[in-house]
Copies of this chain bind each other. A is one copy, B any other.
Amino acid sequence: MNVSAPLKASDFKSDLKPVWCPGCGDYHVLLSLTKALADLERKPEEVAVISGIGCSSRIPAYLKCYGFHGVHGRSLPLGTGLKVARPDMTVIVAGGDGDGFSIGGNHFLHACRRNIDLTYIVMDNRVYGMTKGQPSPTTEPDWDSALSPGGTGLNPFHPLVIALASGANFVARAFSGDIRGTTKLISDAVNHPGFSFIQILSPCVTFRPEQKEWKSAIHAPPVEATDDPARAARRIMTDDGFNVGVLYRGDRRPYKIGDGVEHKTVADLEQEFQI
């Protein structure tokens, strides 16, 4: 018997019962994430999952590892700070499209630009679920609901291309229901140096029940992942939004923690104050 040695996915699940709606794609993401952590052979004390506010941002509570359920839109600064302070830890930042692309949009841009070695997972259901169905930055312009009669008329934007244009070093799209694929993408993202971004299409069965159909729309990308961000951007801007896999794997210089920090003696410091 050698089953005792490595941790299993279930070892990363806390005893808290999720309050997500039954059928929610986020349950799949929770499973994929625990499987990825087991595959990565991390110990719970080596991992921190940081989130903001929203349904998907509850995920740290359901995991057995370090976690921080932060304030709205500010998960990336928290994750960045933690990674800089504790570069030995595996830092995963997770949340939804409202949290990450709306109030958190600027942190998203600049976290990509800084290219710190962490993984950002956005569970994108194109709606604010927790607050009862407001349109988000990825909502279709004609999505009609009581809170957006006739649709907002606003174009959704391309988070994956924004990530590329801002400097992310690994860009992938996943579908929550594809647990095996998502597990692999999370593992690959964590292993890739620098800032990794995964947009996980994760249906909201309550406010967007039509998203159950995503299951039959997804497909593998027609080509291998590129290391050319310009090509990746062009491909993503012309794809159908449902190709699932690694779309860009770059070699952009990650932020080297400790860069620019000189370790000085008291004598060095005194010299700086000489006139």
| A interface bracket (residues with beta carbon within 8 Å of B) | 35 or more
What 1/0 flags go to A155-169 for Cβ under 8 Å of B? 111100110111100
Q: How many copies does the complex hold?
A: 2
Question: Which residues of A97-116 are within 8 A (CB) of B?
Answer: 102-106, 109-110, 112-115
Given contacts A148-B260, A230-B234, A234-B230, contact A253 B165 (CB under 8 A): no
Contact present for A157 and B259 (CB under 8 Å): no
What distance in Å separates the Cβ of A122 from its nearest Cβ neighbour in chain B?
A: 14
Task: Give chain B residues whose Cβ lies under 8 Å from the Cβ of A114.
Answer: 154
What distance in Å separates the Cβ of A240 from its nearest Cβ neighbour in chain B?
A: 13
Given contacts A153-B255, A260-B149, contact A165 B109 (CB under 8 A): no
Chain A residues in the interface with B (C-beta under 8 A): 102-106, 109-110, 112-115, 137, 141, 148-158, 161-162, 164-167, 229-231, 233-235, 237-238, 252-253, 255-256, 259-260, 262
